[in-house]
Chains A and B, each alone.
Chain A
Amino acid sequence: DIQMTQSPSTLSASVGDRVTITCRASQSISSWLAWYQQKPGKAPKLLIYKASSLESGVPSRFSGSGSGTEFSLTINSLQPDDFATYYCQQCKSYPYIFGQGTKLEL
């Protein structure tokens, strides 16, 4: 199975900051990586697919990059609504394993 290592597990930031979350795959997954945002008591929401494609309706301050085994999610100019938990997921082969999650807190 392809394992995903996400870091950091917790990230403290302020409104207006630029933050980056990283995700590393145990083997190459090309660009088959997705990023999700989850708020307490809510279902995850797709932000980025195919490593860098922004899902429709997602603000442009979110961006994804990377290929192979190293990926990142960047949020520019953090807004109050962005404080949540973020997950990466490899989508190259089953099982579609998720990263451990990064809690972005104020």
Chain B
Amino acid sequence: QVQLVQSGAEVKKPGASVKVSCKASGYTFSSYAVHWVRQAPGQRLEWMGWINAGNGNTKYSQKFQGKVTITRDTSANTAYMEVSSLRSEDTAVYYCARFWPLGTAFDIWGQGTMVSVSS
């Protein structure tokens, strides 16, 4: 079945970086964009950016420009999202999601990856 499976929970110290993976299966990976969304505890969903899995082009929310890097490996059907210079405010669940162009919506979501930042 069509699914996105993310890497496991991470605990990091302030100033470190974290890289979360999102492995696609059940569909042609390069035919769809992958977006990243984060949700801090008790907060709303926050769009971070996306990657065209076919050509690798990226676009970031202004808030995350320079803070987040999204990449992909087509041979592994996997997208990655790296957050640098972690602060406690980056503690959140990070989701990847497949963008469905017909509906202009996210039709498939990963299960989420909890990233905790603490000294």
Bound pair: A and B? no
B-contacting residues of A (Cβ < 8 Å)?
none
A-contacting residues of B (Cβ < 8 Å)?
none
